[in-house]
Structure 1
Amino acid sequence: MFVVLRNSWALLLGMLLLMVGNGLQGSLLGVRGPAAGFSAMEMSMVMSAYFAGFLFSSRMTPHLIRRVGHVRVFAAFGSFISAVLILYPAMQHPAVWILGRVVIGFCFCGVYVTAESWLNNSATNETRGQALSAYMIVQMVGIIAAQALLNIPDPSGFLLFVIPSVLVSVAFAPILLSISPTPAFESTKPMTLKELYHVSPLGMVGMFLLGGVFSAQFGMAAVYGSVAGLSLGQISIFVASFYVGALLLQYPLGWISDRMDRRVLVFIVAAFGGAAAAIAIFAGGNFNLLVAAAFVIGGSSNPLYSLLIAYTNDFLQPEDMAASSAGLLFINGLGAIAGPLIIGWGMQVIGPHGYFILIAFLLIALALYAVYRMTQRRSIPVEDTASYAPVSPTSTAIVMEVAQEYAIEAAEDDETHHDPHR
């Protein structure tokens, strides 16, 4: 890990600041929107717009990088992010915020693609797994730290929008001043969705359902807190709890997944997450119970994301793993766009409980579908499965491909270890 930090400290520091800025702006809009009179449905469209921009950018950014280079794309997107963050408080209208979130989502995805390609270029076979872990930890820590900033007094109404703008601007300095140009950007032709479904129905359906769950955490958690009447301090703790759970449970569940039938683990983890969401529906205003539920939901859904990638890889040849990542990301993105819209509708019709009702439904549906798939396909022997690699739902196809490469290398090392003639 020391080698990774020495070689990539500037990139990791920059990404930490970027994640703080992104995590703050999402929660801040979730708090300020309802205070400005936005309805739950309007806020759901604002939050969904981020994922629409993110999904569109995942297809467009590789073409932009090939045309003008990593550095120009990185700098241009950073400028747009800083500008939009300042415009939010100046133009408090749902249509403006929706457009701003599309731009923010598009630009953050472009920034992530560029930074992650640098990370991939700097990693070696020996350090790839550690680099992936360090990057995932930085992402989660950044989002968790962002929630604390929500409690800074802001009498002008502008300060909390200025902070993420400054953080994003400052984040580019260590990266651009220390990173050398990367090789030409290459993109992998994705599998069709039909081919991907044929390879792993559970992987594809699970990714769609998890898209809705993750967007509920990243986009609508602060909106729920505002509508439910939580204080600003309580909202920051509530939102952070999702990511603390994700950070603490990712690696233990990953270790377990390499030692048992992954479909069984998908069922267990999704069922626990769904049960936690169901309990939160009847929490009766008990804040401690809400925080505990958020911890379990975050600790379930984020590892499930990596678990479904590893499970899908179990049925792929090494040369097809990278191709599958684009399809998985696309279907996850569709779920992420739909999630806030359905939650917003639910919260507007039945109240704040609609938030946890949808999360419970999605996770329980995933658990039941995992049980169904157990009756349709034999399990793969544990020794023949691909290695689990931690991947955050905020990552792009670049990190997905790094994870695939790590899984391939781990499998090859394991095969060599068990074959004395090699």
Structure 2
Amino acid sequence: MLASLASILSLMLSTLLMMVAFGLQSYVVPVRAVAEGWSTQTISMIATGYTIGFTLSCVVTPKFVLLVGHVRVFVALITLLAIAILLCALAVDWRAWMLFRGISGFAISGSYLIIESWLNERVTNENRGSVFSIYLITTMVGTIGGQYLVPLGDPSNTSLFILCGIIFSVALLPTALTSSPLPAPPTQARFNVPALYRRSPVAVVGAFLAGALSGAWLNLGGVFTQRTGLSTAEGATLLASVLIGSALSQIPIGRASDRMDRRLVMVACGAVGTVSCLVMAMVSGGPAALLYVVAAFVGSVIFPIYALNVAHANDRAQPDEYVEVSSGMMIVYGFGTISGPLMVGPIMDRFGPGSLFAVLAVYFALYGAYAAWRISRREENDGLVAKTDFQAMAAQPLGADAAAAALQPDAPAEDVLEDTTTPEWRQP
């Protein structure tokens, strides 16, 4: 265990610094956009640029890694992250920001992909859970820490943008200078979404809705905090509450889904999400402490449901199909994240910030209702469906874990289950 940790220490330090900058960036951008007087629909267009870049990277980045290797691509991507946020400070125009945020989404997605594929190669079956727990704690601590840097500066000037660029640049140093062994050359993965849908409709539809939910919240949650009158410190606490709620719930949800039909757990998560979001819509503008508590309940299901759908899809796949399944799920999730801000932004403009949670409640209701309908259409046959073990995933879905599996060295098909494509249940 100690040897494994020593081999990834520099990578973990780079990850921590990258996530601090990411947390700062993800909060300061919407705060500045609101300060510029841009409409929520305009801000949602900027967010769409980010999600398009994020999804595109999941397909393109493995090709670059295949050509020049993990470290060079990682250095290039972190450099792009620093450039993108500094360009946002130089050109304050929503059309330019849409492009800059697209670059940022592309770079952060590729960075996650490389980090997680690197980790997957360094761990063993015996220490996989412990190492990934450390990694996922690192990502959560970094993100929350970055969000709490916003109250220390003034988003209306360039200082926080420059600070974010500096932190991204510093994040390069530990990995660029590491003497640890580098990952082996990668392979490519295929994906076939129509075939995936035929195998598990509830997994594909659920992944799309999970993407819409997380895409809307991650890109417009900061707008909600500003337009409901919360201070930057209170807004950071609200965003942190969602992450903490997710961190606390994923293991119980995963274990419950291992012991019963996963679709029943999907129905329950849909119900919890619907009720929590309706309550949040009704109390928006109320006491900050109440918002924190309700936000934690929203977070308890808004991020874990993607892992739930990936686990269900893997249940119905052969071991040598896991990479293809995970890649297809990632693409569906990515399209969901693109649709979320586009749908929610205009509604928030017309009906106010609380309508964000009203729309999320509709998404959760659709998620649970579709799972319930699929139960009525096809019974779970535990005698034929061998469930995969769950691993908790990031409180804030990084979205690139599936593509990370494609960056593993060639392995025999019978080894895939154990070594390279563990299910998405891996954290919080």
3-state SS in 1 of match to 2:377: coil
CA distance in 2, matches of 1:379, 1:132: 31
Question: Which residue is 1:419 aligned to?
Answer: none
1:3 deviation in Å?
5.0
TM-score in terms of structure 2 length: 0.90
CA distance in 2, matches of 1:139, 1:59: 23
Matches within 5 A, 1:250-261: 250-261=250-261
Asked if structure 1 preserves the Cα contact closer than 8 Å seen for 2:202 and 2:374, the reply is: yes
Asked if structure 2 preserves the Cα contact closer than 8 Å seen for 1:30 and 1:220, the reply is: yes
Asked if structure 1 preserves the Cα contact closer than 8 Å seen for 2:32 and 2:155, the reply is: no
CA distance in 2, matches of 1:409, 1:69: 24
When residues 92 and 400 of structure 1 are mapped into structure 2, their CA distance, relative to the original with a 3 A threshold, is: same
1:162 deviation in Å?
1.8
Question: Which residue is 2:417 aligned to?
Answer: 408
Partner deviation per Cα, 1:366-411 (whole Å, 9 max, x = no partner): 111111111111224299311112223214124466999999339x
3-state SS in 2 of match to 1:185: coil
Question: Which residue is 1:336 aligned to?
Answer: 337
Question: Which residue is 1:79 aligned to?
Answer: 79
Asked if structure 1 preserves the Cα contact closer than 8 Å seen for 2:188 and 2:407, the reply is: no
Asked if structure 2 preserves the Cα contact closer than 8 Å seen for 1:77 and 1:107, the reply is: yes
The AA in structure 2 aligned to 1:42 is T
When residues 400 and 285 of structure 1 are mapped into structure 2, their CA distance, relative to the original with a 3 A threshold, is: farther
Q: Identify unmatched segments of 5+ residues in structure 2.
A: 420-428
3-state SS in 1 of match to 2:148: helix
Partner deviation per Cα, 1:3-36 (whole Å, 9 max, x = no partner): 5433322212211211121121111111110101
Question: Which residue is 2:187 aligned to?
Answer: 186
When residues 155 and 165 of structure 1 are mapped into structure 2, their CA distance, relative to the original with a 3 A threshold, is: closer
* Residue 230 of structure 2 corresponds to residue 230 of structure 1: yes
3-state SS in 2 of match to 1:271: helix
Question: Which residue is 1:385 aligned to?
Answer: 387
Matches within 5 A, 1:17-56: 17-56=17-56
Q: Identify unmatched segments of 5+ residues in structure 1.
A: 411-422
Matches within 5 A, 1:311-322: 311-322=312-323
CA distance in 1, matches of 2:405, 2:275: 29
Asked if structure 2 preserves the Cα contact closer than 8 Å seen for 1:120 and 1:402, the reply is: no
3-state SS in 2 of match to 1:387: coil
3-state SS in 2 of match to 1:52: helix
Question: Which residue is 1:292 aligned to?
Answer: 293
3-state SS in 1 of match to 2:183: coil
The AA in structure 2 aligned to 1:391 is M
Question: Which residue is 1:417 aligned to?
Answer: none
Identity over aligned residues, as a percent? 33
Question: Which residue is 2:424 aligned to?
Answer: none
The AA in structure 2 aligned to 1:329 is M
CA distance in 2, matches of 1:194, 1:76: 34
Quote the RMSD (CA, aligned, Å).
2.2
Q: Which moved more, 1:170-179 or 1:28-37?
A: 170-179
Matches within 5 A, 1:258-407: 258-283=258-283, 285-286=285-286, 287-381=288-382, 384-392=386-394, 393-396=397-400, 397-399=402-404
The AA in structure 2 aligned to 1:84 is A
The AA in structure 2 aligned to 1:184 is P
CA distance in 2, matches of 1:356, 1:69: 42
- The count of corresponding residues between Structure 1 and Structure 2 is 409
CA distance in 2, matches of 1:407, 1:302: 26
